[in-house]
């Protein structure tokens, strides 16, 4: 017998996988919000949004969504809804600054490879749900 038999542990492995995906995604969103707050500054982020044709105030909405969404993901609160909502931000980032740079994220100005992968990851998380150790766990 191995520790990875489908009959006895598949649900617990799926719960742990969802938890890992949920918590790491939440941390990454907090890091991205922190970058916008402490490095680029909210005003600088708003200016960047305006430079690519988006309304400047949308930057503050994105920062808030990344902060609150990151915390919600880490806690496991409304994981499915939060993951889908945050994926919209990533799809927006593909459309505006990253698409013209090409696919690979190592391209000058960053391509759309990373935001696309992250959006797909969030969709997988929305399908998986909270995982283990979540406020939303029933």
pLDDT tens readout for residues 86-101: 999 999 999 888 888 8
Is residue 104 in a domain? yes
Residue 107 lies in a domain: yes
In a domain, 6, yes or no: no
- The answer to whether position 137 is within a domain reads no
134 found inside a domain: no
pLDDT over 60 at 7, yes or no: no
Q: How many CB atoms lie within 10 A of CB 55?
A: 10
Mean per-residue pLDDT of the chain: 91
Cβ of 49: how many Cβ atoms within 10 Å? 20
Buried-state track 59-85, b at ≥16 Cβ within 10 A, e below 16: beebbebbbbbbebbbbbbbbeebbeb
Banded pLDDT at 136 (limits 50, 70, 90): low
Q: Is residue 5 part of a domain?
A: no
On the 0-12 / 13-18 / 19+ scale of CB atoms within 10 A, 1 is exposed
* CA nearest to 25, candidates 90, 117, 118, 115: 118
- Asked whether residue 3 is assigned to any structural domain, the reply reads no
Assign 129 to helix, strand or coil.
coil
Could you tell me if residue 60 is inside a domain? yes
Q: Using one digit for the tens of pLDDT, what is the confidence trace for 24-70?
A: 999 999 999 999 999 999 999 999 999 999 999 999 999 999 999 99
Q: How many domains does the chain have?
A: 1
Q: Which domain holds residue 53?
A: 12-128
**Rg value, the chain, Cα:** 17
Confidence of residue 9 (pLDDT cuts 50, 70, 90): low
């Amino acid at each position: 017998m191995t520790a990875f038999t489908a009959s006895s542990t598949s649900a617990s492995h799926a719960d742990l996988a969802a938890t890992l995906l949920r918590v790491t995604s939440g941390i990454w969103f907090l890091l991205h919000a922190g970058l916008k707050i402490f490095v680029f500054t909210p005003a600088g982020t708003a200016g960047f949004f305006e430079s690519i044709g988006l309304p400047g105030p949308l930057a503050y909405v994105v920062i808030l969504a990344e902060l609150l969404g990151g915390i919600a993901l880490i806690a496991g609160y409304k994981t499915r809804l939060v993951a889908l909502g945050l994926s919209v931000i990533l799809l927006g980032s593909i459309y505006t600054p990253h698409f013209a740079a090409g696919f690979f994220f190592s391209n000058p100005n960053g391509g759309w490879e990373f935001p696309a992968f992250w959006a797909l990851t969030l969709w997988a998380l929305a399908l998986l749900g909270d995982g283990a150790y979540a406020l939303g766990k029933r």
